Structure formats: C-alpha cells, structure tokens
Amino acid sequence: MTTSKTTDNTGYKEAYRDHLGNVTQEGKRLKIHPQRPVGRHHSVRRIVSWVLLAILFTGPFVEIGGHPLLLLNILERKFVLFGVPFWPQDLHLFLLAVLSLVVFIVLFTAVFGRIWCGWVCPQTIFMEMIFRKIEYWIEGDAAMQRRLDREPWTQVKILKKMLKHGVFFAISFLIANTFLAYISGSGPLWQIITDPPSEHLQGLFSISIFSLVFYGVFARFREQACIIVCPYGRWQSAMVNEDTIAVTYDYRRGEPRAKLKRAEHETEGTGDCIDCGQCVQVCPTGIDIRNGIQLECVNCTACIDACDAIMDKVERPRGLIRYSSYRGIEENRRKLLTPRVLAYAAVLVVLLGVVTYLFATRDQLQAVILREPGKLHTDLADGRLANFYSVKIINKTFAEVPVEIRVVEPAAAEIIPLGDLAQVPPQGMLVGRFLLALPREGLMPGRNPVGFAIYADGRFVSAVESAFLAPHNVQKKGS
C-alpha cells in the first residue's frame, strides 16, 4: 500500500522498496541513531514495558504454593504455565494450545497489525526501553552519538564506549541467567551460582553463550532481528489488508507536503506535513512511514509522538500519523469485523473450547502397566504361576499421592510388589515392578486377559488392561 511519493533521482516512485532503511544503496549496514522518543504513546509504552519486564524477570522465581509460576524445561520436557504443570503426556493439549496461539496471532495481526512488536515483544522492549536508554544516558542523544562515532579514539570516547559495552554485557548476563531459570528452574540456577564453578561447567558454558548472544543482538545486531530474522515480521505482510490497524500516515491530510512557510498565501494548496523529517529521525528501523505501511515498521509509535509534537508547534491538529487502517485513511471509515476476521474468531473460539474441555478433564495421574518382555512366566513355590510387570505412574499434581494397584480380573490374581509401589512423588513418576500370581486352574495356554485398576488416595483413577502369559501345558504343575 503506497501512500505517498518518495522518488529517487530518476523519478521512480517506489525506490524505498528496493533497499532497507538501514542499508546504503551500496549494500552496507547503516548504523541507525534514532532520536530519543518523547510523547504520550511512549509514556504509556514505558509503563507497559516495565510491567512486562517485571513479569519476565520474576516469572521463574515467583512461586505459587511452592511451585514456579513459569517453567519451560525443554531438556526434561517439564512445563509449568501459571502454576499448572504440563507433562510430555499432555502433548496433544500442548499442541492444541500452540495452535490456538497461532490462530490468535493471525486474528490479532489481521485486526491490529504488528502491535505485538511495538508493545509486547521482548526484543523491542529490551532494545528500546533498556539498551537504547542506557545508550542515551552514556553517549547522549542521536546527534551526540553520531558525533562520538565520528570522533577519533580519545580517552573520553574509550571510557564511554567501555562503560556502555560493560553495562550492556552485565544486562545481557542478567537476561541469560533469567533465560536459564526459565529452562532449568530457579533451584538449579541458584546451584550454578553458589556451587564451585567446576561442578557446573555445562551450566556456566550455557550462561556464557546466552550472554554473548544477547549482548551481540542488543549491542550490534539490533533492528536487523526484527527486519531480517523475525519470521513474524515476514509473516505479517501476508496477514494484513486494507482494514488492518497500524501506525499510518494520513497522506490525504499531509500531502502535498511542503516546508513550513510563514506567509499564508505560501501554504495554500499544501498539506499538513511540513516535511520536517522528525518522524524519520525517531524511527528505530530507519524508515519513512510516509511511504506507507512497510515490513520494517515495528509499530513502536515513536513517529506518532514526534509528529504530534510538530503539529502542536505549528498549531495543526494532532494525528497526522496515527493508528488507523488504509481504508480508514482512504475512505474515512473503519471496518473491524470483516468476514476473514469473523472466520478466524470462530475457529479460535472452537479451539479454545476444545483446549479448555481437555484441560478441565485431563487425568492428574497417568498409569502405564506393561507385561515385561523376555521372561514368559515363573513358577512360584506354592504352585501358582506368575508374570512380571513394570509400572509407571505419573503424578501431574504438586502433592505426593498415595496409590494402590488392584486387580480387577481375574479375581483370584494377587499382586506381589517388588519394591515400594505406594507413593508417587509430587510432579514426579513412580517406576516399579511387581509380580502377578495366578493359580493354574482356569488359565488358558498362551494369552489370558488381565485388568488392573489404579486408586489414588482411595479414589478410582484409571483402568489398565494387560495380558498374562501361561505355558501350553499350564495345567501340569512344574511345567
């Protein structure tokens, strides 16, 4: 959607589409020094960012009833979301939840464009609300940063750069520790910190690598993460349309742009854009929003605030750049509930309904009983036959659960535990073995069906079916 008339020196109107805002015509990376954003959108974003940062940094350390609020232990496949544990056995639930999230993102993006990027994405929040602010604090505003970069390596410049990169690395180290706490839990992280380094070489190696990666992203790679790497940024161009709300320049009001003139007759026939370039100066991805919605725009709202400040100064109404849709600008009407949006919403409601139902009815205890392969049967001293079984009971709750395995059929069968099969630890698994003893009478040669029932705290939890193998001459003792 092109909305204005940026041309190159040949008159080609869409020259801006041929190269990225942070890359020169020769293909070299252009370091962006955006001006410090100020304004009401930025103030609200700052509050939202601090709230989200507080959640992010405390997530793995806050506990609900002694359990982590968030844990994403990929290595051991343990997940805790808002105090609710998920096990590998909940994979179907997990996949459906991820699918719901994808549909939600599609729906959200179709309606609100890339609002996620500007307001919620950790990359933008860390970059714009922490690292960029430290840069302003140490090196000054955009113009001072440019000047410092051009200067020779004086003592002051070396000190400033060392201080900046030292603070950057310290924060990256903090982020890496938090990241590891999400993966391994706060307990193992605390052990890595307090135990002798030689006992946790792998953990220390992981923290070092994460720290370097975060440092590299925020000190050097920066906006390229959003423009080149992030799949969501690419994906969103397929999801937005004329009705999607995004940070948009009102070209009907702004064009034809013209430098500010004092005499009234000189401004006749011109739009409200005074071509001051402030919206471009504050943009962290280096684009000119007046060219229309672009892939590089992360909806950070800095250009809205910058333009509003200019409009205040020239006594024209705010909102030349604002949240709107292409149709909102073109036809002055917004249409949120398009058939596409309604279809996505319907799919999302169905998916959420299924996930909620499955979640509400999922087993808190899951049991698997398998006849051990290899050994067919064994003779007991009292003349009965026995088979070996292995049992696994997973406890998804945070409390220790007393369990009992009972035989449902055949009635004459007896379970002889080979170890402790009475308790399942919280968030843990009971792994054990037992013998199932049966009198020879009534047994058929070969496979005989057996059924077990699992009781937790005296309550029936689940039934498990298996088989008992008897020899072909089962009726003869000592066979």
Q: Give the binding site for ligand SF4 (CB under 6 A).
A: 247, 249, 254, 257, 273-279, 282-285, 287, 289-290, 297-303, 306-307, 310, 320-321
Within 8 A by CB and 6+ apart from 386, the residues are: 377, 378, 379, 380, 416, 435, 436, 437, 438
Q: How far is the CB of 281 from ligand SF4 (least distance, A)?
A: 8
For the bound state, the minimum distance from the C-beta of residue 113 to ligand SF4, rounded and expressed in Å, comes to 10
Pick between residue 21 and residue 185 the one whose CB is nearest to ligand SF4. 21
Smallest distance from ligand SF4 to CB 206, Å: 33
Kindly tell me which of 148 and 283 has the beta carbon lying closer to ligand SF4.
283
Nearer of residues 59 and 284 to ligand SF4, judged by Cβ: 284
39: enclosing H helix or E strand? none
Please give the Cα distance from 343 to 334 (Å, whole number).
Answer: 18
Quick check: 321 and 279 in contact, CB under 8 A?
A: yes
CA 38 to chain centre: 28
Minimum CB separation from ligand SF4 for residue 241, in Å? 18
Q: How far apart are CA 299 and CA 131, in angstroms?
A: 18
Which pairs from 331-337 meet CB under 8 Å and 24+ separation? 334/243, 334/245, 335/243, 336/111, 336/243, 336/245
Beta bridge partners of 378: 386
Minimum separation from the CB atom of position 248 to ligand SF4 (A):
9
Token output for 273: 């854009």
Q: Give whichever of 298 and 454 is closer to ligand SF4, judged by the CB atom.
A: 298
Distance of closest approach, residue 287 Cβ to ligand SF4, in angstroms = 5
In the numeric block, which tokens belong to residue 120? 């919620």
Name the minimum Å distance from CB 32 to ligand SF4: 10
C-beta of 287 vs 401, nearer to ligand SF4 = 287
Instruction: Compare residues 163 and 276 and give the one whose CB is closer to ligand SF4.
Output: 276
Tell me whether residue 274 or residue 436 sits nearer to ligand SF4 (CB atom).
274
* Nearest distance, CB of residue 221 and ligand SF4, angstroms: 17
CA distance 413 to 449: 12
Residue 92 makes CB contacts below 8 A (sequence gap 6+) with: 358
Q: Which two tokens stand for residue 348?
A: 């999302």
**Tally of CA atoms within 13 A in the half-sphere of 48 that contains its CB:** 18
Q: What is the dihedral of CA 228, 233, 235, 238, to 10 degrees?
A: -110
| Nearest distance, CB of residue 55 and ligand SF4, angstroms | 23
Find the shortest distance in angstroms from Cβ 141 to ligand SF4: 16
Dump strand ranges (E) for 23-170.
63-64, 67-68, 70-73, 78-81, 84-86
Instruction: Name the region of 160 (left: φ>0; alpha: ψ -120 to 50; beta: rest).
Output: alpha
Distances (CA, A) of 386 to 363, 413, 437, 439: 30, 9, 4, 9
C-beta of 274 vs 413, nearer to ligand SF4: 274
Least distance in angstroms from the C-beta of 316 to ligand SF4: 9
Rank residues 306 and 430 by Cβ distance to ligand SF4 and give the closer one.
Answer: 306
Tell me which residue has tokens 């036809």: 331
Closer residue to ligand SF4 in complex, CB, 278/448: 278
State whether residue 365 is helix, strand or coil: strand
Nearer to ligand SF4 by Cβ, of 319 and 471: the residue is 319
Q: Which DSSP state fits 131? A: I
Q: 389 is written with which tokens?
A: 């079984």
Q: How is residue 29 annotated by DSSP?
A: B
